[in-house]
Structure 1
Amino acid sequence: MVKRSSSVIRRVVLAAAAVALAAGCTPDAAGTGPGTGTGPAPSSTATTAPSSTPTTAPTTDDKPPSPTADPSSATPSAKPLMGDGDENEQVRELQARLRQLDFFDRAPTGFYGTMTAGAVKKFQARRGLPQTGSVDEKTWQQLLSVTHKPTADELKPSTTNKLDTPDPRCMTGRVMCISKESRTLAWMIDGKVVSSMDVRFGSENTPTREGLFKVDSKSRDHVSTIYHTPMPYAMFFSRGQAVHFSADFAARGYAGASHGCVNVRDRAKLSALFDQVKVGDKVVVHW
């Protein structure tokens, strides 16, 4: 009796296995999970193949898993070559090339700030590129295609910042008209610009004062009594603050800042200006 029952059970199991293979319910590659078939699994006691049309809709567990994208086949996002806060020689070249197209109206500084980002956006808009304000490979290649390699003078001009509109207080008399917005000093006489030069100002902790002043004194070979650093061609205008030549500004550009004075990086131009300015001449520092 036991032997006959075992024989019956064996036939039932073999029949169930045949039905499973017919329905496509094979195990996964590891041999431990559910198969990829969409039909319901047959009953372990079934002796005949189920109908080809399931009587109930498959559950969500019966659905094949969503394909997972292969990371190696995904299109990589455009990685910025240059962006806000960067400071290097490639940024300087970027600025010089943008300046060739009149998108950047300042002397190249090598520092990627808001002005550079704005210039990049204008270029991207002109070329039909996404206006991100940062430079990816596509933006850079298009810029290279429509500009020439900057010369040494284009990369590091002595004095090329574009002058700001003069403050109304600069339009009469003899005045050093100093703009924080354009970072320029314009030597003006009766409303006409005689000469101009790039300037640098104090930091947030030691700001250059703004307003209307007069030249109090001049010192051709001055040395700071506080910081013990040379201040050639110093022209004092406000409680120790002066216009003077800065070797650091000439070397590092706008990467640094003064302790409140107005730094000039073109020694020859400042030397000529020093000989023209008189004690009592006006000084206007404005935005």
Structure 2
Amino acid sequence: MGDIRRRGVVALGITGLVVPLTMAVGGTSAQAASCTTQTGAYQKQVEKFLGRPVDGRQSAADCKAIKAFQTKHSISPNAGLAGPVTWGVMDLMNRQKAIGNKPNKAGKCPTNKGRIACVDLTNQLSWIQDGSRLVYGPVAVRTGRKGHATRTGLKKVYWRDIDHVSNLYNVPMPYSQFFDGGQAFHSVGISVWAPPGSHGCVNMTKTAAAKYWSLLRNGDEVYVYGRKSGT
């Protein structure tokens, strides 16, 4: 977590504990690893997800495909093992796909607030709705990891900075829209499925973050609910 840099002085009152405003970015890079010959605990599920022959036995081709997926999504180590972390990412993708264009089917995000940005931590999805009408999304997001969970509840966008840079990590946070202390929507240069997650921010692709930037304004409400697996 790090403090907000606002081209000089930032003046913002926050009740509660007196701590610096923080940036919630988080990245992880897969470590280079040789391809394993070991059959993973989730071999069949991973083979099916990747469109490989489902025989439950690791092959050189299986390992190559699994390793490519792990590298793309910053899963470490990226040795091609069909383990729980790799399957967890794939299972999340399956669940997100199944939700389709009805992310608020259960009505958990308020429909009496007008335009509002919803964040479903359980399914790692976000969207913008106006009443019950879906305006944009849902899009896959990457929220806070264990110890840095994205905080739940009803909030409001209070500050926007299109070219924000985190002081603590000295990394860019394009299209930042802050809604709870240092927690913000912003784009990242890694996969939004990269485990274990951010330091609290809602990470998005550049396309999604730019669209959120065009649709939201200071004072627009944000509702975060659910619980991310492992937090």
TM bin, normalised by shorter chain, reads 0.5 to 0.7
Distance change >3 Å, CA 191–CA 247, structure 1 → 2:
same
- Cα offset for 1:218? 0.8
Partner of 1:268, secondary structure, is helix
Distance change >3 Å, CA 219–CA 91, structure 1 → 2:
farther
Distance change >3 Å, CA 91–CA 254, structure 1 → 2:
farther
Identity fraction in percent: 27
1:262 is the counterpart of 2:216: no
Query: Residue 275 of structure 1 corresponds to which residue in structure 2?
Result: 214
Query: Residue 33 of structure 1 corresponds to which residue in structure 2?
Result: none
Query: Residue 188 of structure 1 corresponds to which residue in structure 2?
Result: 129
Q: Distance in 2 between matches of 1:170 and 1:225?
A: 36
1:286 is the counterpart of 2:228: no
1:208 is the counterpart of 2:150: yes
Q: 2:86 aligns with which of 108, 111, 115?
A: 111
TM score, norm. by length of structure 1: 0.46
Distance change >3 Å, CA 171–CA 225, structure 1 → 2:
same
Q: Distance in 1 between matches of 2:187 and 2:46?
A: 23
Give 1:8-47 correspondences, 5 Å limit.
none
* CA RMSD after TM alignment: 3.3
Distance change >3 Å, CA 222–CA 96, structure 1 → 2:
same
Partner of 2:198, secondary structure, is coil
Q: Which runs of 5+ in 2 are unaligned?
A: 1-37, 53-69, 74-84, 227-231
- Cα offset for 1:189? 1.0
Which whole-Å deviations, capped at 9, do the CAs of 1:211-243 have from their partners, x for residues lacking one?
A: 100001111111112221111111100011001
Distance change >3 Å, CA 284–CA 276, structure 1 → 2:
same
Partner of 1:195, secondary structure, is strand
Q: Which runs of 5+ in 1 are unaligned?
A: 1-79, 99-107, 120-155
Query: Residue 94 of structure 1 corresponds to which residue in structure 2?
Result: 48
Q: Distance in 1 between matches of 2:216 and 2:47?
A: 36
TM score, norm. by length of structure 2: 0.57
- Cα offset for 1:160? 4.7
The structure carrying a bigger helix percent of its residues is 1
Distance change >3 Å, CA 114–CA 191, structure 1 → 2:
same
1:231 is the counterpart of 2:170: no
Distance change >3 Å, CA 212–CA 218, structure 1 → 2:
same
The structure carrying a bigger strand percent of its residues is 2
* Runs ≥4 residues deviating over 4 A: 90-93
Amino acid at match of 2:129: M
Q: More relative contact order in 1 or in 2 (CA 8 Å, sep 6+)?
A: 2
Q: Distance in 1 between matches of 2:50 and 2:129?
A: 28
Amino acid at match of 1:263: N
Amino acid at match of 1:269: A
- Cα offset for 1:181? 1.2
Instruction: Choose 1 or 2 for highest CA Rg.
Output: 1
- Cα offset for 1:208? 0.8
Which whole-Å deviations, capped at 9, do the CAs of 1:37-70 have from their partners, x for residues lacking one?
A: xxxxxxxxxxxxxxxxxxxxxxxxxxxxxxxxxx
Which whole-Å deviations, capped at 9, do the CAs of 1:122-163 have from their partners, x for residues lacking one?
A: xxxxxxxxxxxxxxxxxxxxxxxxxxxxxxxxxx99x95733
